[in-house]
């Protein structure tokens, strides 16, 4: 779900108050019960090994061997001989292990599934999980999910030229977790199926946010390829559409707005002044998009991560300073705002965000339909509230690159034929070790629904805390992973 600027260092020690480890044994009673029979038990599609296209190896200062790999896989796994796309994966291996083997190393592989949907992986050296897992004896494999990064990326100007809207919608439907997981399984077979021992043919998966959703899809349909699974802020709600999710995340969003204005009470008047200015004179941003009131309020997406509230305050402070000095916005401010909003460079995030919850039902612009009155308007006395990780129709006008996908937004929002993403019956008889970090105050992933999913997955164990936020795997890596490793080792208190 949310995507944040990396935080590379964990400073000091954190007092994890209200930190608890829970093994939830009761099956889900709300979410799983609402699943239609067709979604409760869906057959998996057979997956063949991916075709290795090319490989490049280089060394990075700091003791890392990098192996870049490109694979060719079917667009549609139900038509394995049909059109193909590329999927890119990057291995990060301790430089001392330079055996030249097909996996680039002898250590067990941990696959990192990126948050999103629609984001590529960052370079291994920039992700603190690399250091953590390498220190535990693993090698890392960072896969750019199909349609992102170097994996046949989606771009308005070069993607599917000359195709109809219906054809583009069908292609976008192939970019969800079900096919992301099939890509992973195809790559696993290419890299590991020649191993002698069964355990060596399996790998570990770590899913952050949306990557955790993918990991649970993996558990549902291809558990035979998995040795163990870790999720951080990524236990998906087992629902058929996003309505129940937004009802909960809107409440968390309002709580985070309250925290913001308590910390920076002067920003109540400042934000009201900025919004009044934008209503009179919307600002053209460097990319060509328009900074409207709605787009300005979109900045609240950052509230869900460590440091996000302070980041938005600095933008508000600079905006008011610009208005004081010039009665207008400087280029620097416009650039700062654009740097916080990645919809233009990651269009899948907007196009498929609501669809990543859909199983046999349309989203119907869920976030817009479930918008609480307090976020729709405010009196002269009330603070203007920011929005969060929600997608609204106006975004396909206000964002310059996203506007090029405008004709696809409605067909995707009202599409009904979404395949199942989870097999609840399989999850109930799961045998793969699963360790989840759930954040009680998560603004993006509904905590109570995450707990229900943990309870549904047989044998899953969770670490739950109210002092860490959604991006803790980057911002406070050792605080999160240290607790998950205690679960893995069987430590209890």
Q: Can you tell me the mean pLDDT for 344-355?
A: 97
pLDDT at site 43: 60
**CATH classification code of 20-238+422-489:** 3.40.50.1820
Checking if the pLDDT of 97 tops 70, the result is no
- According to DSSP, the residues that pair with 205 across neighbouring strands are 111, 229
Q: Can you tell me the mean pLDDT for 81-88?
A: 97
Q: Are 218 and 229 in contact (CB under 8 A)?
A: yes
- 470 annotated active-site: yes
Q: Which residue has the higher pLDDT, 492 or 426?
A: 426
pLDDT at site 103: 44
Q: Which of 144, 298, 442, 464 is catalytic?
A: 442
Which tens digit of pLDDT belongs to each residue from 425-473? 999 999 999 999 999 999 999 999 999 999 999 999 999 999 999 999 9
Q: Which residue has the higher pLDDT, 6 or 369?
A: 369
pLDDT at site 105: 59
- 353 annotated active-site: no
The mean predicted confidence, pLDDT, of the chain is 90
What confidence tier does 16 reach under pLDDT thresholds 50, 70, 90? very low
Which tens digit of pLDDT belongs to each residue from 210-255? 999 999 999 999 999 999 999 999 999 999 999 999 999 999 999 9
pLDDT at site 12: 28
- 209 annotated active-site: yes
Buried (b) or exposed (e) across 104-124, using 16+ Cβ within 10 A? Answer: bbebbbbbbbbbbbbbbbeeb
pLDDT at site 106: 82
Percent pLDDT > 70 in the chain is: 88
Checking if the pLDDT of 71 tops 50, the result is yes
Task: Determine the Cα–Cα distance for residues 112 and 115; give it in Å rounded to an integer.
Answer: 10
Which tens digit of pLDDT belongs to each residue from 306-335? 999 999 999 999 999 999 999 999 999 999
pLDDT at site 378: 66
pLDDT at site 44: 81
What 3-state DSSP class applies to 396? helix
Beginning with the edge strand found earlier in the chain, give each strand of the sheet holding 203-208 in spatial order. Answer: 20-22, 461-465, 434-439, 226-232, 203-208, 109-113, 139-144, 84-94, 64-74, 51-60
Checking if the pLDDT of 104 tops 80, the result is no
Checking if the pLDDT of 25 tops 50, the result is no
Checking if the pLDDT of 362 tops 50, the result is yes
Task: Determine the Cα–Cα distance for residues 446 and 238; give it in Å rounded to an integer.
Answer: 11
What confidence tier does 101 reach under pLDDT thresholds 50, 70, 90? very low
pLDDT at site 28: 36
What confidence tier does 379 reach under pLDDT thresholds 50, 70, 90? low
What confidence tier does 360 reach under pLDDT thresholds 50, 70, 90? very high
pLDDT at site 264: 98
Task: Determine the Cα–Cα distance for residues 65 and 13; give it in Å rounded to an integer.
Answer: 31
Residues of the chain with CATH 3.40.50.1820: 20-238+422-489
What confidence tier does 18 reach under pLDDT thresholds 50, 70, 90? very low
Task: Determine the Cα–Cα distance for residues 298 and 337; give it in Å rounded to an integer.
Answer: 10
pLDDT at site 228: 98
Q: Which of 3, 206, 353, 470 is catalytic?
A: 470
Checking if the pLDDT of 412 tops 80, the result is yes
Checking if the pLDDT of 40 tops 90, the result is no
Which tens digit of pLDDT belongs to each residue from 188-198? 999 999 999 99
Q: Which of 209, 220, 400, 462 is catalytic?
A: 209
pLDDT at site 42: 52
Complete DSSP assignment for 10-64:
--S----TT-EEE---SPPSSTGGGS-HHHHS-PPPP-PPPEEEEEEEEEETTTE
């Amino acid at each position: 779900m949310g995507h944040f600027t990396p935080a590379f260092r964990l400073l000091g020690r954190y007092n994890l108050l209200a930190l608890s480890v829970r093994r939830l044994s009761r099956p889900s009673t709300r979410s799983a019960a609402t699943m239609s029979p067709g979604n409760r038990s869906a057959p998996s599609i057979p997956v063949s090994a991916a075709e290795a296209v090319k490989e490049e190896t280089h060394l990075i200062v700091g003791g890392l061997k990098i192996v870049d790999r490109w694979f060719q896989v079917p667009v549609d796994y139900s038509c394995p001989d049909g059109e193909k796309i590329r999927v890119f994966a990057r291995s990060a291996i301790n430089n001392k292990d330079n055996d030249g083997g097909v996996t680039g190393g002898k250590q067990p592989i941990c696959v990192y599934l990126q948050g999103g949907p629609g984001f590529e992986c960052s370079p291994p050296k920039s992700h603190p999980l690399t250091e953590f897992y390498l220190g535990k004896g693993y090698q890392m494999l960072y896969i750019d999910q199909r349609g992102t990064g170097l994996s046949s990326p989606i771009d308005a100007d070069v993607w599917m030229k000359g195709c109809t809207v219906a054809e583009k919608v069908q292609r976008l439907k192939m970019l969800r977790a079900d096919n992301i997981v099939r890509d992973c399984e195809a790559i696993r077979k290419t890299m590991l199926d020649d191993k002698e021992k069964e355990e060596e043919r399996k790998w570990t998966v770590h899913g952050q946010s949306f990557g955790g959703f993918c990991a649970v899809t993996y558990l549902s349909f291809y558990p035979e390829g998995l040795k163990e699974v870790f999720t951080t802020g990524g236990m998906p709600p087992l629902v058929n559409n996003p309505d129940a999710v937004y009802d909960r995340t809107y409440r968390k969003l309002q709580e985070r707005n309250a925290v913001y204005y308590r910390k920076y009470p002067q920003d109540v008047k400042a934000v009201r002044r900025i919004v009044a200015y934008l209503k009179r004179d919307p600002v053209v941003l460097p990319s060509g998009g328009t900074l409207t009131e709605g787009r300005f309020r979109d900045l609240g997406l950052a509230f869900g991560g460590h440091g996000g509230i302070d980041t938005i305050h600095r933008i508000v402070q600079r905006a008011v300073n610009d208005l004081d000095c010039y009665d207008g916005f400087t280029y620097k401010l416009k650039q700062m705002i654009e740097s916080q909003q990645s919809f233009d460079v990651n269009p899948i995030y907007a196009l498929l965000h609501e669809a990543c919850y859909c199983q046999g039902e349309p989203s119907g612009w869920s976030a817009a339909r479930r918008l609480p009155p307090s976020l729709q308007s405010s009196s002269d006395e009330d603070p203007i509230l920011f929005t969060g990780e929600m997608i609204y129709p106006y975004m396909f006008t206000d964002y310059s690159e996203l506007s090029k996908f405008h004709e696809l937004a409605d067909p995707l929002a009202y599409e009904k034929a979404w395949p199942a993403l989870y097999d609840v019956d399989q999850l109930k008889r799961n045998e793969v070790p699963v360790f989840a970090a759930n954040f009680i105050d998560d603004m993006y992933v509904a905590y109570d629904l995450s707990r229900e999913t943990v309870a549904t997955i047989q044998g899953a164990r969770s670490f739950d805390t109210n002092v860490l936020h959604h991006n803790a795997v980057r911002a406070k890596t050792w605080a999160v992973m240290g607790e998950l490793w205690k679960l893995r080792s069987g430590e209890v208190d």
